[in-house]
Amino acid sequence: MKLLIATTNQGKMGEYQRLLRAAPFELVLLSDLGITEEPEETGATLEENAILKARFYAEKSGIPTLADDTGLEIDALGGEPGIHARRWPGYKAGDEELVAYAISRMKGIPEGKRTARFRAVLAVAKDPGDIRIFEGVLEGILAEKAYYPIVPGLPYRSLFCPKGSDRVLAESSMEELANLHREQAAQKAMPFLLAMAGEINMV
């Protein structure tokens, strides 16, 4: 049984290989199926964009599909960058550019005002007409300086320090990385994935 992970982000794919190891699926990438098209992400929310991507790629692939949309919401900046995490400067920026831009936007904001959160919304499409969504939230603050090296595809982890921790995500151990926003969402999705696998096995 195959489950398409609808991302070209190798950092995310590595996470899903770990998070979904208990699910009886062979995880495949868009490149494995020769899919190069991308949907236009016209949604106004993380939920809308995740559903849009899951439906688009389920239709293209003909197999169950998992897509997500993740946003960083910074309170001092009115919730920016939100759904525009990758295009925050106004264009699709690289990892180092995004870290530098975040630091510049947060310059002069005191520690007590640097609160932020990661939100991850997973959309699982059993088929294009049957899509469920699952959400995870991680509260924290943004550090004033970045930790290097930057995790490829996950730049804000070099700045984001979870609530109750004194280290940013990029320098945290696997144990400390437990129960992150995407992991919370994946755990909520697991019963649906297992039930879906059981239904597929019965066909």
Q: What is the pLDDT of residues 127-137, one digit of tens each?
A: 999 999 999 99
50 and 69 Cβ atoms separated by less than 8 Å: yes
- Domain 2-202, CATH: 3.90.950.10
Catalytic residue flag (residue 32): no
Which of 68, 69, 130, 166 is an active site residue? 69
| pLDDT tens per residue across span 42-99 | 899 999 999 999 999 999 999 999 999 999 999 999 999 999 999 999 999 999 999 9
If one counts every other C-beta atom within 10 angstroms of the C-beta of residue 107, the result is 8
Task: Assign 200 a pLDDT band (cuts: 50, 70, 90).
Answer: low
Burial class (CB in 10 A: 0-12, 13-18, 19+), 21: exposed
Distance of alpha carbon 107 from alpha carbon 84, whole angstroms: 20
Q: What is the mean pLDDT of residues 164-183?
A: 80
Task: Assign 174 a pLDDT band (cuts: 50, 70, 90).
Answer: low
Task: Assign 203 a pLDDT band (cuts: 50, 70, 90).
Answer: very low
